[in-house]
Amino acid sequence: MRTYLLLNFSQYDLFDEIATHYKVYRNSIYFVILCIRSNMKNKKRESSFVAKWESQVKKGTLEYIILLCLSRRSFYGYELIVEIKSLLSFDIAEGTIYPLLNRLKKEECISSEWVEMEAGIPRKYYKLTSEGELRLGEMEEYWINLSSAIQKLMKRK
């Protein structure tokens, strides 16, 4: 049974000291450490890949999610962020959602209006337009077809 040590070496003389103590070649210790570090980097890279993929999926579906939320009722910006976070466990930054809301407004998918509050500052409420309803319908159709195709692929495993 072999035992491997994972040590953080800053100088090669430590390799010599350990090699002498364990009666192995310094290159063997160095090789084991390189393998362990390489394996750790690969795992980190794999999890990094999945994290990047998840981020892209979230970004790609966020417009659809916003339109779905606004199809139910009007929201002000921060309230929409809270709604999406609570329903989907998405972590959404304000710097992500407001540019998207502005783009959807320019494309006339949503409209906005300032509403005076009894207490506090006015809030900008967003609501779905008829153009937004049309786009949402197209997106729903595509989403249903895509998720059906993915389900078929998953069943083939």
- How far apart, in Å, do the first and last CA atoms of the chain sit? 37
pLDDT digits (tens, 9 = 90+) for 81-97: 999 998 887 778 888 89
- pTM for the model stands at 0.68
d(CA 26, CA 95): 52
Query: What residue ranges do the domains of the chain occupy?
Result: 12-155
Residue in 20, 144, 125 with CA at minimum distance from that of residue 78: 125
Average pLDDT, the chain: 80
Strand partners, 62: none
What pLDDT sits at residue 17?
Answer: 53
| Residue 101 CB-density burial (10 A; 0-12 exposed, 13-18 middle, 19+ buried) | buried
Class of domain 12-155: mainly alpha
pLDDT digits (tens, 9 = 90+) for 8-63: 444 445 545 555 555 545 455 455 555 555 555 556 656 788 888 988 888 889 99
Residue in 131, 71, 125 with CA at minimum distance from that of residue 101: 125
The DSSP letter of residue 114 is: E
What pLDDT sits at residue 35?
Answer: 53
